[in-house]
Amino acid sequence: MPENNKKMTNLRHIPRPQVVVLAYDGLCTFEFGVAVEIFGLPRPELGDAWYRFAVAGVDSGELRATGGIRIITDGDLSLLDTADLIVVPGWRGLDAPVPDALCEALRTASARGCQLLSICSGVFVLAASGLLNGRKATTHWRYIGALQARYPAVRVIEDVLYQDEGDILTSAGSAAGIDLCLHVVRRDYGMETANTVARRLVIPPHRDGSQPQQLSRPVAQLRESQRMGQLFDFLHQHLDKPHSVTSLAHRVGMSERTFLRRFQDATGTTPTRWLLNERLLRVKDYLENSKLSIDSIAEQTGFGQAATLRHHFRQTYSVSPARYRKQFNA
């Protein structure tokens, strides 16, 4: 499944959804910064509908963070009472106990419909609360064994970038947290908005959640990397056009063999699968934000015929395009 889930949960129906990220003594600075950068940074270019943002201190007083940083938060766990999405950065240690008050606050928030997102070892906080029992979840490859051993009721998914269970989302290592947070933005505000955020971060707009965490090949040379980035921009602007391995390889000035290898390095998948995934994301965006007919959407997303679009959409999301539009608008 290209988006690693089949649930259609999003926060778009909530005016300016509230995102609350946890802070604690021993804070993992990078993961915390990811949440601040994506959800907390003001984005006037996106209007007044963007997320509201707050930081909730798990511990009182001045908090130490990785790198010799100390912070003081403006709020405590009471902020979780009004959160629409709670972000749990990597936890301060696998052997560090999770406070009962935090577990209870997370359970209460989840029960009223709040969504929960963990980055890296933050999954251990969600697991300690019991909210992952019987659910799929992932974490950094170094912690997979510990998560399986300590929380056998959790269905641990190995070697993926992130896992979306609809109301609970978990990511692998630190950088995969960026992918997951962008996935949430894409889900809540659509592909174009997510691409805008990604461009500001100067990162690829989308990595499939099912992509392996560890790449066995070295990254591309700088010149090749730049050419691939330009290719992705071109493809996003021309999803309605037919593309072949031959034409794409020619566009970036590579042999087909080299192109396929570099494309796999950059995306974790094949050009055909990547194009299908991006076209389906564009279809969802049209279904959510336009009144175009299925025939028109098929033409503008490169599927050509409505029957082809319906086949791939149903195969991927287990629902027809018309049904998805109706559910979303409802």
Pair (155, 281) in one structural domain: no
Pair (124, 25) in one structural domain: yes
- Mean pLDDT of all residues in 1-11: 50
Pair (132, 40) in one structural domain: yes
Last residue of a domain, one of 161, 193, 225: 193
Query: Does residue 231 form part of some domain?
Result: no
For residue 26, what are its two tokens?
């021993």
- Mean pLDDT of all residues in 63-72: 93
Pair (293, 170) in one structural domain: no
Query: Does residue 64 form part of some domain?
Result: yes
Pair (42, 132) in one structural domain: yes
pLDDT in tens, 78-93: 999 999 999 999 999 9
pLDDT in tens, 182-200: 999 988 988 788 888 887 8
CA distances 150 to 102, 125, 263, 316, Å, are 19, 12, 37, 33
Confidence (pLDDT) at 208 = 53
Pair (168, 280) in one structural domain: no
Query: Does residue 171 form part of some domain?
Result: yes
| Listed residue (176, 181, 180) closest to 212, CA to CA | 176
- Mean pLDDT of all residues in 23-42: 95
| Listed residue (232, 259, 235, 264) closest to 245, CA to CA | 259
Query: Does residue 250 form part of some domain?
Result: no
How many residues belong to the chain? 330
The label of the residue with tokens 């539009």 reads: 325
Work out the mean pLDDT of the chain and round it to a whole number. 87
pLDDT in tens, 256-267: 999 998 888 778
Pair (188, 302) in one structural domain: no
pLDDT at 204 over 50: yes
Confidence (pLDDT) at 330 = 66
- Domain coverage including residue 293: 273-329
- Mean pLDDT of all residues in 111-116: 97
pLDDT at 207 over 60: no
What is the CATH number for 285? 1.10.10.60
DSSP label of 61: S
* CB-CB neighbours of 246 under 10 Å: 10
pLDDT band at 206 (very low <50, low <70, confident <90, very high): low
Query: Does residue 264 form part of some domain?
Result: no
Query: Does residue 5 form part of some domain?
Result: no
Last residue of a domain, one of 193, 222, 250: 193
Pair (149, 59) in one structural domain: yes
Burial class (CB in 10 A: 0-12, 13-18, 19+), 9: middle
What is the CATH number for 97? 3.40.50.880
